[in-house]
Structures are given as C-alpha cells and as structure tokens.
Structure 1
C-alpha cells in the first residue's frame, strides 16, 4: 500500500498518466481505486486540467477516458471559474459546442456530461457575456447546421441541453443575487422553449423525441414555470400515459406539475386536471386485473402527488359544494381504491403504501381546522375514514401460512414496516372517528367469536383487529368504560390457533397497561392469557413484556393474582425454556408483583424462586473461566439486578434523583430490612467468589457494579449496613484491576454517605484508594486508559460540586493533591471540568505556595520544551494553552498571583503567538483561547498591558497571515476571537497596526486588492460587540484571500450549514434542529425559500457526506430530521439534488454500489410522514457506507436484537 501511494505521489500530471490512472481505477482492487481516485481528483483541480481535458476528449480515447475528460471540464467550469480570464470565454464556448456536435452520435454518457458542462457555462456567462443562450443554442442545433447528424438526433441533443440548463441552475454554487439574475434571464428565455416543446409533444413525433421533450418539460416545471402557461402540454402528457413506452416519463412529468411549489396558487387550473386524473380509474382497474405492477405504481404515485399536495383544495371544494365537491370526493374515492388494491404487500402489490401520507395530511388539515369548518368536514369525511379502517383491516392481515413462509427475509421486513405504517395511519384516523372505531372493532370481534364456534374464521382477521386496536391505545381516553371492557373480556373466548395471533394479543394488552390500571376489573380476563403465554417459548417475549407493563402500571391491583403469577414464573424459570433476555425480564416482573406483599411473604416466595438460580451461580463461580461460564454468570447476575430494580416495598416513596444522580440527602430508614437487603446479604459470598476468579474481566465487574447500583438506588439510606463491606470490595477490585464502572458506583456511595459520621473513615479510605490507584495507572500508561482518567475526573468534579462541605475531608494531608493537579493538567482535554481542583485551591492559603510553585514549574518547563521543538510537542502546547485560558477565565481574581514577577509573562505571550502558527487545529484554537483571555484581562496588570503594546504588532501580523491562507479555514473563527479582544481592549493601537500591515503591497497575499483590504479594516473596527458579525467579516475576507469567493466552500459558509460538519455531537444536533425548523417554515417567507432553493444543494451534500461516514453515528438521527423537512417542504428539489449527488461515482464513498444508492433515494422519497421509518432507512444506509452491515452494531441499530 505504501509503495502504491508513493507511486501515485511521484506521477506527473500528464495525459498519459491520467489514462493510466483511469485504467487502474476501473480495473484494479479497492485500494488501488482509492489511490487512483485521490490522484485523479488532484489532477482535476490543477490548472493544467483546462488543457488536458480536451486531449482526453479525442475520438481515439476510450469511453472511460472521454467521460473523465468531460467530467473534468464540468468541474473546472463549476468550481474553478475564477481561474479563467474573460477573453478566454469565447474560445471555451466554441470548443464546448464543437465537442457536443462531435459526440452527437455518442457515446451518450459523454454527450450528456458535455451538455451539463454547457449548462454550467451558461450559468456563469448569462446575461453579462452571453445574453441569449437559449435562443442561440436552439438556433445552432438545427438540421441545417449539423447536416452529418440525423434530424431526430439533433432534436434529442437540443432537448438534452434544454433539459439540463434548469437542472444546473439548482446545483451550481453562486450568490443569491447572481441566482436571482439568472432566474430572471432563464424565465425570459423560456418563452422560446415552451412553444418548441409543445410542437414536439404530439403523437406524430418519434417516441424518443416525445420522451425527451416530456423530460425537458418536467425540468422546466421544476424550475418554476407558472402552471397556467403549461395547460396545453399537460393535455399532451395525459395522452402519452396510454403509450406504454412513454408511460413512466409522462407520469413523472405530471407529478412535477402537481408538486409545483406554487401550484396551490392556481386551484382553478388544478381542478381542470382532476377529471383527467379520474379518467385513469379504468386504466388502473385493467392493470390490476392484468397484474401490471408498474402501471399500478405509476398511477398511484401520480394520484398521491396530486391529492397529498392539494388537501386544501379538496377541503375548500367540499365547502363550495356542487360539481366541485363531487369531483374532489371522487378523487378521494379513487385514492381509497389505490389503498385497497388487492394483494399482499410487497408480494402482490407495491403501491398502496404511497397513499398513507395523503390520509395523514388530510386528517391533520381537518383536525387543525377552525371549529366551524371542522363541523362541516367531519360528516363528509368520517364515512371515508371508516371505510379506510375496513380497508386497513384487510391490508394489515398476514397472508396465508404458505405465502408467508415463501416470502424472503427482505420481503418479510418490508411487510413488517408496512404494518407499522398502517398502525401509524390508524392512529391518525382516530382523531376523526374517535369512539366509532371502537364500535367497529368491537362488533367485528364479536362477530368473529360467534363464527369461531362453527370453525368459520381466519386467525389473520382476529390478529389484524387486535393489531389495529393496539395502534390506537395511546389515543384512547383513560376514562373509556363502554367498549374496551367488553373487548378485553372477550379475549379469553378467542380461538388462539397461531403464535403470531397470541403475540399480537399479548402486545396489545401491554399497550393498554395504563388504561388497565384505571380499569382493574379486566385483569381476570387478561392475567391467565399472559401466564399461559409465558409457557410458550415462541411468545414468551410478548408475554413477559405485557406482564412487565401491566405490573409496572397497576402494581397495587395485582395482589389477588400474586400467587398465580409467581407460581407460573417459578415453573417457566425452572423449565429453562426461556431465552436469557426473557428470563431477565420475567425477574423484573416478579419484583413488581411481590412488592405488594409483606416482607415475610416476599421472602418466602423469593427463597423458593431464587434458590435454584443462586445455587447455579455458586456452581458457576467455582468453575474455570470459559465463554459459556461467563454467559451463565452474566445471566444470573442480570436476573438479580433487574429483580432489585423493581423490588421496593416502600410504597409511594420514590427514589430521589437529580439528573440521574442520587442527591446527597438520603431517605429515611424503613421500619424493617428490605427484601433487596436480605437477598444481597445472601448473595454477597457468592459474588465475592465470582470477583476473586473474574476480577480482571470488565464485563463481569460491570454487571456486579450495575447490581449494586440498583440496590443502592432502591435502598438509599437502608444500604447503610452494607457500606463498609461494599466499599472494601470496591477498593479491592479497583486496586487489583482498575475498571471504569467501579468509579461510577463509588461516586454514588461517596456522595450519599460522605456526611455520615458513622461511615466517614470508610468512604475516606475508599476515596484514597481510588486516588492512589488512578495516579499509579496514569503514571505507567495514562494514554492507554483515557476512559478511566475521564471517569475519575468526573468523580472529582461531582464531589467538588455536590459535596462541597466535605472537600477538606476528602482532600486532606493523606491525599496526593499535587498528583491530582498534574493529572488534571496532563489530561485537560479529556476531563468534563478541567482544572477544577487547581482552581479550587488557588485561593486556599494552605495550598497557595504549592499551587504557585506548580504553576511556575509548568510554565518554565513548557517554555523550555517549546523553545527546542514546539512543532514536535503540539499536544503539550495545546494542553498548556488551555490551562492558561482556564486559569484566566475562571480565576480572574488570582491573575496577579499567577502572573507575578517570577513568571515569564512575555514568554507565555510569545508561545501563544507561536501556537497560532502551528499546523494542528486544536493547538491553534487553544492558543487563540489563551490570547483572547490574556488580552481581555491585560488592563488589570500594567506588565501584561505593556507586553501587548510592545509586542502586539507581531501577533496581529501572524493573525493576518493565518487569515490570508497560512492556517486552515477551520481555525479562522478562533482568530476572530483574538481580533475582538484586541478591538475591545486596545482599539486605537489595533487600528494603527491593522492599517499599517494591510497597506503593504501583496500582504497578506496578492489575491486581495487594496480597496478590499480597506473595506475589511472598516468592517472589523465597526464590530466591537457582535462576535457573529465579526466572524462573518473575517470569513468573507479569508475566502477572498484564498480565491474562493463564489466557490462551493463560500456557498457553504454563507449557507450556514457548517455546523453539521463540526466534530461535536451537540453542535451537530443543534444545527440540525435549527435547519429542520428553518426548512419547515421556509415556504412562509419567499426570501427563506429562495435560500433553500439556491443553497440547499450544499446542505444535502453535507448531510450525505455525514451519513457516508464524515460524522459520528450518534448524530445520524438528527440528520434524518433535516431530510424529512426537505422531503416534506421541497420534495422535488430535494429528489433532484439527492439523485444528482448520489449519481456521482464513489459518493459519499466507494463502499456503496449505485444500486444501493438508488434504492436509498427511493426509500427516502417515500417517507414524508413516518419519521421512524425514515430514520431506519438512513441508519441502514449509513451502516452500508461504513461497511458495518452484518455486524453486531448493525443488528442493534436496526432493532433486531
């Protein structure tokens, strides 16, 4: 691999080498492809690309080479236009048009790319250099000018050019003003395009021409042509639907018309098209009979796009009455036919799911309407939605056992998601129908029970009814007491002949746990069903989940059923038929159930129930460590852990928590020992045996710590008798093998019992043991144990913050405070609250000299190291700069104490100046942080102020060189912080230095004019308050200095989507939250909408790169929120950008195939309502991009385990 990298690095950029690299890219393995791709990317970006791209387009080259040449030319025009002089424009245009003519006969892939390149040229030259490109192109591409090309082909080429011009408008990166000018010019030019398209869209045209003309029309509709101007062509589109070869293109073009962002402004025009759409009903029925899935899908897509995007028109027409009302209700009826299309999804049909969004949007508009209109809508649409319920009852049913067994895993997963979509749709339906749904389901269930006595029933019908009943559980009022009691009391009479039916029944019971708590009279009907289900391994998961929900919500009502539940639990646990996770969950249920009994009875039951498991755990503890033994131990410990989690006899008292942490004030002691305490006493000797044998196993130790944490949270002060024993055990384990979970448990004990005189010495010993061991680990291998150090720092921070009265108790003469100081400083970049201890003791007279000596020693040593090799020790410089910044910011009253006559203050300042010139971003940012704090506080100390006024010129010069291009763009915001500090605290001195430096020719480089530099000075000096405005000014100037104004990066910077590319998860999530709200509300303001349409391409590219692997997996759900907002509010624009970006080779990386990317686009565009489904799709795609499909993480992510 290294030899390969070296080989590419040494290659000159020549035509011969480019051809060689292209060949290697297409012929060799992935590693070679990656190297070739990187080298070719560099070649494309080089100025030489303007020349060699023409040589690559020669007719004797291979198609791959020709395509690269065309693609290279497109990239240069799109992203490096600033490299051209205006006198070169005409030559470029002539060459480009000539190449399009040369490739008129193909290959098509190259011809299309050249057409796109011409479109990019048009974007950069209209109207200033090329005022009438559309008319010119239409004149040039006439048969008379290209006699060597067939007339049909000439027409197709012209249509291709006219198609990609509006598409390129949305993808190219220009300023908002430039986009506005271009949009105006293109709209003027469209007056030549539309008549031309209309002349071609007729049956007499060749099919290829007709097809391309429709695509071109679709492109211009997306661009924003008024719909009323398109009526004649829409008529031709409806005619083309009957032609099998033109069907797909006609449907797509009509969809663009109905999805037009301003279509809602022309309701009369849309209504003219409704009869045409209704006329397709017969075509749909014919296609259903002939099992033509493509036609069914196309018509359904068209109908859904019309109906879903014009629900306001449907509702307003309902209010109008007459023929208009009849038409829209016929349209709704047509939608119902598409939802009810016969067959099982996705085996027999693949389009009914497209309609679900419409039913959601329509009900949402109805429910959110004002009360007067709502009263009009409900009588009209309630029968429609009741019909929908009956349709969904059919569509949600499982197919026959034979058909279901024949479905592959992908089809089964699609069917599962489809049922979930139906569940969501049913939930929305409840908003209109309310109790009418319960009446329907109740009567249907009653009818099935009556038929079941004769054997005339299908289990699928019952399962579907219960599934939909579970879907509306969250919507039903807890006071409902008419239909639900009857339905639950009917459950025991159902014929349970299938495990899927049993599982659905049990899941439904669990969904209604909160309602059951308010209506405990139904418990006799459901508890036996749950207990029976626990005996069947196939439905044990649903049974234990149902029992857990019912027990947690209605604990106080379970006393009559305790004996039956516990007996059944004991039987199934002893039988060994349950999976590990079901056993653990059942033990959690047992805890809820027995908690309603007196302690004596609890212990009687638990002694019988737990004895076999404790004996088994004891046996496993004696065995030699193996994977099987470990799994057995973990299962038994987790069973006890989850029992302790729910076993609490203190009634309504709740464990007091604060942010997940127990407060220092505990709870009152119980009158007698709690069961958790008694059981823990019994199991402690066994746990000690486990610890002795497995002390080095992080998984076992973590499970034991989890168990003890659950005990502590349940017992609180009742944990008192165990404090000494557990503390000694934790110290023993930690000293033998330092495990991070021990620190979390120890933190809880220290916080809870530090103020208890009885345990002071115990917790103090524990704290000292933790300190000493951690310092020992840090001395020998700290960088390999950063997670341990981080957890320990959090422990210290929590103790200082939440137990401030005990600080002197913990940090006494026995504690190695100096060691803790050094550890804090060494690992400042890993701690949650850096330098807490250092800051705490800086003002403590007892420790002042220690702290000051340490600070001076650190300063002197760091300056010595930096003098000999700052670039080789950037991590040290970064940590030291952060230390200084934190000290100044958080201990400003001690500045004179630290920065005294013994301290080399000038050396520290000069180190900060050096730091902003180092190559690592983190070091630059840390140095800027120190310098901005240093300058902000400089007026407090004359010695510091003198240094600024004597040596600040050097700092300002370094900053300007960094802005000018010497430093990465990612640190420029930090430079702006230093500029702001200088401007606020030394304004006139700063102005003088700035003007003097920028008056020098070619400083910071020769890309900016003197006028631009003067404007920069003026803008900077204005901003002494608004940091955001200053950062924008600096960012704009650095782009000018780097020759990047008008480029993709500039658009990204202005477009404010940088936040989603930052490394901090919180920043990314906050940025996504803003962007999703911004996009959701974009249609309300034309200016905001214009920003989305002009710069949205940048955002979508950033999101795809993030999903492809540039961002952590933890932020992908937030990206999905932005995707959903784009899909809901700018659907077609989003589709176009998505398809365009993902059509690029190796984008977002080379791990996903083009087929996978196309499938991703298809799945994303389907989801405009169901956020959960969209998140699953995005999560699956990001796993593909990261090469993680098939891993354990992937399984967890998609919810399979």
Structure 2
C-alpha cells in the first residue's frame, strides 16, 4: 500500500510502513513517504509516538526516524511542551539514551544531540545546573551496569555536540546570549574533565575502547575551543594535546572512529585560531613555542604519509596565518619570540618547497601559499622604520621563497599521461604561484627583478649551449622549463611594475629577442608572448620598444599553437598603445589578414583579432581605414549574405555566429575620435555655428551594408537563440560606437527589433531596446517613435509570457524586460504617459507575479521595475492610479515571499519595494499591511499576532535606512520560516 501525504493516521504501523518505503522503494514512492513522514514530525502526536518507535525491538531505521523526530520537535516545536512536562521529557530522554548505550550508534548519537538541544532550551531558566548534573550522572558509580568507557563516551558525546548545536540553534538573539553565558560558566568544569581524562590515558598503551574515549575527548575539546575558551586557561590542555600528537603518530592512527593525531591537531588549531586569542599576545607566543616540536615530528614522518603531514603543516600554517601580525612585530627586536617566529616561517617555507611535482608527486605545497600573502600584507602595514628592521630577517626568506616558487612552477617534461583534472589542478596551482611571486615583488621590488633576470640569463645560456652543441634533436633543450618558469613569473609581477622603469623591463624584452624560438618548446614561446602583453602599459610609455615586440607577435600568428598567446598580446597592445600602434598598422593588419584567411585559427582567436583590427583602424586616416575594411571586412559581410541564403545546419549556424561576433567586436572598437589639435573648418569656426561636428565613423558605412542582410537573417534564422544573440549584440556594439549618429538607421532598426521580438522574444533585443530608448527618448523628434516602440515591446511580452506561459522557462527574457522597464522609468518615465491605464496595470501586475519566481535574477529585475514605478508614480497620473489599485496585492505578494514562499535571497529586493512604498505611500502601506496581516496563519503559521504587529510597526518607521529595514525583514522572515523562534 502506498503511503501518501493525505494520510492522517500516524499510528506506529503506518509509520513503520512509511519508513520502510522510504528506504526500500523507488524515487517517486520515496518522495511521497518523505513528505508524509515530514508531516508526521510536525504534529503534536509526534511527542507520543516516538517513544514506541524507539523500543529495541524496532528496526534501526525506525528507531533512527524516531530519534530524528524527537530532535526536530525539541528544536523547532519546543513551544508545544508545557513547562510542567519538562522534567518528564528529560527523564524519558535520559532513559532512552541509557537503553541505547550499546547501540545502534546512529540512534545513540542522535539521542545525544537531542539531549543537548533540550539542555539549550532549558539551561537559562529551568535547568541551570544541567552540565554539573550530567557530569555527576554519567559516572561509572552512578551507572554500574554500563562499561566505564561507554559511560564516558556518552557524556563526552553530549558535551561535544552541545557547542555545535548551540551554533545552529533556532534561539532568538536574546536567548542565545543567556545560553552562551550559562555555557561559559560551566567551561572550567568541562575543561577540567577533558584534561583529567587525557592526563590519565596514554595513547601508546591504551586499549581500543580507551582510544575511542580519547578520540571523543579530542573532538569535545575542539568543539568547546571553537566556541571560545580563553587561551590563558588552555596552557595545560595544549601540553596534553601535544603529548597526544607525539605519542600517537607512531601507532596505527586510523581507526573506525577516526584519526587521533588529526583530532588532537584540530583541537590545537581551534585553540590557536579563535578570534579572541588576539587579546592575549603573550599567551599566543607561549602557545607557539609549545607547537614548534611539531617540526621535529614532520622530519620523522615518512613522505608517503601525506595526510598526516598535511594535518601537521596545516596546523602550523593556520596558527601563522591567524597571528601573522604578531609574528611580524616579533622581528622588531631581539627576543626568543623572534627566534620562534623565524623557525615557524622556515617550517612553512619547507612546506612550500615540498619535493616533487604538484599534484602528481605531492599535494602539500599548495597549503602554504595563502600564508605568504597574509605575511607580506602585515609587513607592508608596518611603519617605514620598522619595515627596514623587519626586512633584515624576512627579506632573505622571501628571496628563498621566490626561488622555491620558480622551481615549483616549472612545467613537467611530459604531461601526456596526466588526467584532465590533474592538468587543471596544476594550472590553478601555477596561478597561485604567480600570485605568490607578486607578493614577493611587493616585499623585494628590484631585488626580485634582479633575481629573475639572473635566472633568465642562466636558463637562456643553458638552452643556447644545448642548441649550439646540437645535443638535442627536439624542442626541449635542457633549461627550457626554468626559462618558461621565469617568464611566467615575470608576467605575474609585470602588472606591479612602474611604467617609468628603465632598468629591468628593457633587459627582459631584450632577452625575448635573443630566444632561439626555432628550438624552443611551444609553451616557452607562448609564455614569452604573454610577457609582451603584460608589458603593454609599459610599452605605451616607451614606444621605441614597439619595433622590437611587434615582429615577434605577427610571426606568432602564423602558428596555430602560438596564435592564442599572440592574439592576446596584440589585443593588450592595441588596448594600451593606441597612440603609438598606428606606425605599425600595416604589418599588423597584413599579418592579421593572412592569419584570418589561413583557416588555422580557432573561433575565439578570430574574434580577438578583430579587436586589434578595430583599434588599429581607429587611428588611421578615414581613406586608409575604408580601404582596409573593403579588403578585410566586406568579404565577411558577403559571406554572411551567402550563408543567410543557405539551409540552416550546424556548420552554417557556426559560420554565421562567428562572423557576427567578429563584426560586433570590430564595430565596438572601431571608433574614430576627434583629435584635440584638429583645426575647425571655416564654417565650424564662425560665430553662428558653435557646435563641432563629430568625426565620420567607418562603422556607419559598414552598418549600411548590414541592415538589409540583417533583415534576411532574422527572416530565415530568426528562431535560433545564438544567432539572434550574436546579431543584436553586434547592433548594440555598433550603436554604442555611433550613439546619436545611428539616427538614420532608427526606422529600419526599430522595425527589425519588433519583427524579431514578435516571432521569438530574445533578451538581447531588450538590451538593445534600452540603449535605443536611452539615446533617443529625450528628443522631441523621436518621442512618438519611442513611445510606440516601447508599447509594442510591452504588448508582445505580455502576450507571450503572461497569458498562461510557465514564467520560469523564460526568466532570461523576463529579467531583461524588467531591467529595460526599470531603466526607462528611471530616466524617461514620461514615456508611460502614452500608455492606457489598463496597460500600466498589466505591467505592474506582471512584475508582482514575477516576485515569487525561484529565479532570483528575475526577481531582482522585477523589484527594480516596481521600485522605480512606485517612486515615479506620484508625478504621472496613470501610474498613481495603478499603485493605489494594485498596491495591496503587491504587499500581499511581498509578505508571501517574506513568509517563506521564496528563497531567502529574495528578502533584499522585497525590502527595497517596501522602502519605496513607505516613502511614497506611507498611509496606504499602513492600511495594506494591517489588512493583510489580519489573515490567520498568514504569512506563516509560525508567527504570532504580536510578532506581526511588531513587524508592521517597525517597518513603517523606516523610510530612509535601507539596511535597517533589510535586517527587520530578514528577522521576521526567519521567524516565519522557523529558523528563529
């Protein structure tokens, strides 16, 4: 028999059937059983049926469901328990724990968690002596029938989960504060218990059951330390934890209950990294000294035990990261703290220098990379005089680190056997290493550049010697890996270089010219070209260098393997060196044309090259620009014409999209700017003509050729999403260049947009529409066009999506639609004066409906539209009437979202709408909120009438402070959702 949510007979037999179906049926039946069981957990009867289901003769699954239900009730439905029943519930809970002391463990664990949740609910008022009572109760003398280790384990399990349960509890902030105070009062007793158990048990000689208790002690210690124990009270515990680590590494440390050294290290890490430790710098330094023997332990452990080594290193690294400022300050004067700090930093340097290739032979070195950023950040924050002193100790460390990073970043000789995941890990690792080299530069500056130049010259000499002696017959001469690694490092630090540098960058670029490209691994060549791109800003300030680097780049376009790096570097030069690149326009454009027509480039490289073409053509005379366009670009328009006549298939589709993308990038970058030194014509300079004419844009002539072709593309391919996106993005880039100069195309373009959108609504059409409306709505000449255009777009949107369609299937269009409306309302709200009142009402209601969609992007766009609609409505009669008519429905929808029908991510946009209503319609909002809140169980059955009244009162007070209103809405929503009681 199938259990359905409609079943209301929560008998033990029915519950047992549902649990059995949940664990043994297919997904559909499982889902129904889960829904029914969840409903059972919310009923008051659950307080009764759980005890029957916890009987030892029931299945483990059924007992676990009962224990889970009991925990849920204590956490979320505590208000159902009368105060006089608290002792009864506690007694039953303790009896259940004792009866399950030998298992099943999963049930016992959940019951311990439930007891901790009960304790949190009662410790502040009804059970203030909870922890002392538990410490007395779970003693072998009190429970003689239980094995002593089991008694200790249960007590420790309850204490362990207590801080964890506290952190995730649904208590109010006030109640949380009271409970935290009670827990902190009992911290000394818990700490004493943990210390006593550790002091009387030696891991080296302990039995399996005793080791399990020790492991539980360590977990408990970590849990309470994370909640916060003053570090000044932890010195004895730190010694005991260190003893556990040292004595346990030589025994098999992986048990069914976990790793003892790892658990001890977790506790030490929690002790050392708690935020409050910064208040006790001397104790932190004392703890650091206690942790340093871990270095000796690292030396003793086999490199094959990567997991244990990682735990040891991560503990020291976490301590160093948390107290990097303290370490840096210790170098200001001679002291034991300075020696200890330096020793710790060298241990972390050793971690960074772990032998082997990451991630094939080792995975430890990446753990330390974040520390070097934190350390340099605290170094740079020091006063100038202190920094000089600190550098005497830490400058050499960063020089050693730089050398280590160069070796760790070296490419493998052959990675053909690597899995794709391993290659991606290494790529990310090299990026992290590059960031670390940048941190080294922040500390060392010229010293690092000198080191890189020294390594570069040495690697180049080794490569040249091999090439000269003909010792290699391939492109992998000895030294190529270090050569590439140094170049890779220079790319990383180049963005920090001063553009006035005259000593180091020229030397690097000089080395590039001397590289034996014909004998080098292609990855070296790629990185060398990346160096050029990274130096583009410097090259712009030193144009003489352009003649040295451009030949390298245009040569790189001839090789498919090197072309990605060459096109990227050319793009960087074109972006940064606009004023100087014109002198090299011919070789760049000629090489670009040859590369584009060769058919060897990937699509992304073709598109990227058009960026360079557009930028280079922007600085040429109009006549030269048009000549190049005729040769390089018009053929693509002709190809598009031919492709648009063909039957649409994957190859035609890909070709059309590529050419549209290439043209779009070209139109977006080919922008002729008037020079400040251009002389005005005689007509422009006379007193009757003050306005300076805009320069002729070549894009204008290109667009003239594209308009008829675009109409054909829309007609024949107008239901292909990607083609339309490329087409209208091309128009968007062209109009962004032409701006008001696109006016002659306006009638045809508006017709094209409306026809396309009517057949296949596309978000890019709406993005382009917003640009056009922004450009031309302020002109009286075009006002009627813009109003008609906006009305048609709105009409087709409402017709397509708000007449029974599944809105979640079209969120991309809805997002762009409401963004367009929000933009228009913000700048040109008067356009809506031409709308019929019913049309404005329909738009407002559409935005209201969208607020409950699960897709947050659409919700945010709709909220922006509604906010702007409300804020502008007082000035436009149509809009004013809409808000007064539909405002109550909007408020109802907002409260549904706040009450739990939408994700928590929607709370911010809901707050923004409430703020807008409160600014412009305070009296109406007061009435709407009160009327809506009068409904029983709305917006959630979990919220009381008093809480609703308080929310309304406080919300109406906030007319300016957005952050306060957001906090209020969030708190009320958490109450509605049962997250906070």
Match of 1:823 in 2: 839
Match of 1:270 in 2: 284
Query: How far, CA to CA, are the matches of 1:564 and 1:1030 in structure 2?
Result: 57
* SS of equivalent to 2:5: helix
Q: How does 1:1027-1106 map to 2 (within 5 A)?
A: 1056=970
Q: CA RMSD in A?
A: 4.6
What TM-score do the two structures reach when normalised by structure 1? 0.68
Match of 1:968 in 2: 939
In structure 1, which of residues 49, 56, 73 is the aligned counterpart of residue 70 of structure 2?
73
Query: Does 2:448 correspond to 1:448?
Result: no
Match of 2:96 in 1: 99
Query: How far, CA to CA, are the matches of 2:745 and 2:98 in structure 1?
Result: 88
| Deviation at residue 263 of structure 1 after TM alignment | 2.2
Match of 2:904 in 1: none
1:909-949 residue CA offsets vs partner (Å, 9 max, x unmatched): 9x9889988998389999999999778389xxxxxxxxx9x
| Deviation at residue 196 of structure 1 after TM alignment | 3.0
| Deviation at residue 126 of structure 1 after TM alignment | 2.2
In structure 1, which of residues 921, 925, 940 is the aligned counterpart of residue 896 of structure 2?
921
Q: How does 1:1154-1173 map to 2 (within 5 A)?
A: none
| Deviation at residue 468 of structure 1 after TM alignment | 1.7
In structure 2, which of residues 223, 229, 233 is the aligned counterpart of residue 229 of structure 1?
233
Match of 1:1164 in 2: none
Query: Does 2:76 correspond to 1:82?
Result: no
Answer yes or no: is the 8 Å Cα contact 1:356–1:421 preserved in 2: yes
In structure 2, which of residues 340, 349, 363 is the aligned counterpart of residue 327 of structure 1?
340
Q: How does 1:916-955 map to 2 (within 5 A)?
A: 921=896, 936=923
In structure 1, which of residues 431, 435, 456 is the aligned counterpart of residue 446 of structure 2?
435
Q: CA 1:236–1:584 in 2, change beyond 3 Å: closer, same or farther?
A: same
| Deviation at residue 232 of structure 1 after TM alignment | 2.4
| Deviation at residue 368 of structure 1 after TM alignment | 1.2
Query: How far, CA to CA, are the matches of 1:575 and 1:1030 in structure 2?
Result: 58
Answer yes or no: is the 8 Å Cα contact 1:885–1:934 preserved in 2: no
Unaligned runs of 5+ in 1: 655-664, 812-816, 835-878, 900-904, 939-947, 973-1003, 1036-1051, 1064-1096, 1102-1201
1:253-275 residue CA offsets vs partner (Å, 9 max, x unmatched): 21122113322333333333434
Query: How far, CA to CA, are the matches of 1:699 and 1:639 in structure 2?
Result: 14
Query: How far, CA to CA, are the matches of 1:737 and 1:168 in structure 2?
Result: 53
In structure 2, which of residues 523, 527, 532 is the aligned counterpart of residue 509 of structure 1?
532
1:706-756 residue CA offsets vs partner (Å, 9 max, x unmatched): 333333333345546555665665576667777665565566556656788
Q: CA 1:745–1:971 in 2, change beyond 3 Å: closer, same or farther?
A: farther
Q: How does 1:884-903 map to 2 (within 5 A)?
A: 890-891=873-874
Query: How far, CA to CA, are the matches of 1:793 and 1:824 in structure 2?
Result: 13
In structure 2, which of residues 219, 226, 240 is the aligned counterpart of residue 215 of structure 1?
219
* SS of equivalent to 1:157: helix
Match of 2:300 in 1: 286
Query: Does 2:245 correspond to 1:241?
Result: yes
Q: How does 1:972-1051 map to 2 (within 5 A)?
A: none
Equivalenced residues, count: 910
| Deviation at residue 194 of structure 1 after TM alignment | 3.1
Answer yes or no: is the 8 Å Cα contact 1:734–1:770 preserved in 2: no
Query: How far, CA to CA, are the matches of 1:209 and 1:743 in structure 2?
Result: 65
Query: Does 2:152 correspond to 1:152?
Result: no
Match of 2:686 in 1: none
Query: How far, CA to CA, are the matches of 2:673 and 2:95 in structure 1?
Result: 87
| Deviation at residue 523 of structure 1 after TM alignment | 2.1
1:652-672 residue CA offsets vs partner (Å, 9 max, x unmatched): 589xxxxxxxxxx9995456x
Q: CA 1:970–1:491 in 2, change beyond 3 Å: closer, same or farther?
A: farther
Answer yes or no: is the 8 Å Cα contact 1:912–1:928 preserved in 2: no
Query: How far, CA to CA, are the matches of 1:176 and 1:971 in structure 2?
Result: 17
Query: How far, CA to CA, are the matches of 1:570 and 1:235 in structure 2?
Result: 72
* SS of equivalent to 1:199: helix
Query: How far, CA to CA, are the matches of 2:650 and 2:976 in structure 1?
Result: 41
| Deviation at residue 129 of structure 1 after TM alignment | 3.1
Q: CA 1:96–1:433 in 2, change beyond 3 Å: closer, same or farther?
A: same
Q: CA 1:208–1:449 in 2, change beyond 3 Å: closer, same or farther?
A: same
Match of 1:1167 in 2: none
Query: Does 2:593 correspond to 1:580?
Result: no
Q: CA 1:534–1:100 in 2, change beyond 3 Å: closer, same or farther?
A: same
Answer yes or no: is the 8 Å Cα contact 1:587–1:639 preserved in 2: yes
Answer yes or no: is the 8 Å Cα contact 2:898–2:969 preserved in 1: no
Query: How far, CA to CA, are the matches of 1:919 and 1:272 in structure 2?
Result: 55
Q: CA 1:936–1:320 in 2, change beyond 3 Å: closer, same or farther?
A: same
Query: Does 2:360 correspond to 1:347?
Result: yes
Answer yes or no: is the 8 Å Cα contact 2:891–2:929 preserved in 1: no
| Deviation at residue 551 of structure 1 after TM alignment | 0.8
Match of 2:423 in 1: 412
Answer yes or no: is the 8 Å Cα contact 1:751–1:799 preserved in 2: yes
Query: How far, CA to CA, are the matches of 1:960 and 1:730 in structure 2?
Result: 45
| Deviation at residue 697 of structure 1 after TM alignment | 4.5
In structure 1, which of residues 445, 459, 483 is the aligned counterpart of residue 480 of structure 2?
459
Query: How far, CA to CA, are the matches of 1:171 and 1:557 in structure 2?
Result: 61
Match of 2:392 in 1: 379
Query: How far, CA to CA, are the matches of 1:967 and 1:356 in structure 2?
Result: 52
Unaligned runs of 5+ in 2: 254-259, 467-476, 678-688, 851-861, 900-909
Q: CA 1:508–1:645 in 2, change beyond 3 Å: closer, same or farther?
A: same
| Deviation at residue 303 of structure 1 after TM alignment | 0.8
Query: How far, CA to CA, are the matches of 1:937 and 1:54 in structure 2?
Result: 52
Query: How far, CA to CA, are the matches of 1:647 and 1:330 in structure 2?
Result: 58
Q: How does 1:1105-1184 map to 2 (within 5 A)?
A: none
* SS of equivalent to 2:844: coil
Match of 2:567 in 1: 544
Q: How does 1:588-603 map to 2 (within 5 A)?
A: 588-603=611-626
Answer yes or no: is the 8 Å Cα contact 1:396–1:422 preserved in 2: yes
In structure 1, which of residues 344, 369, 375 is the aligned counterpart of residue 382 of structure 2?
369
Q: CA 1:534–1:30 in 2, change beyond 3 Å: closer, same or farther?
A: farther
Q: CA 1:541–1:63 in 2, change beyond 3 Å: closer, same or farther?
A: same
| Deviation at residue 325 of structure 1 after TM alignment | 1.6
Match of 1:619 in 2: 642
| Deviation at residue 445 of structure 1 after TM alignment | 0.7
| Deviation at residue 487 of structure 1 after TM alignment | 0.2
Query: How far, CA to CA, are the matches of 2:963 and 2:826 in structure 1?
Result: 35
What TM-score do the two structures reach when normalised by structure 2? 0.82
Match of 1:295 in 2: 308
Match of 1:1130 in 2: none
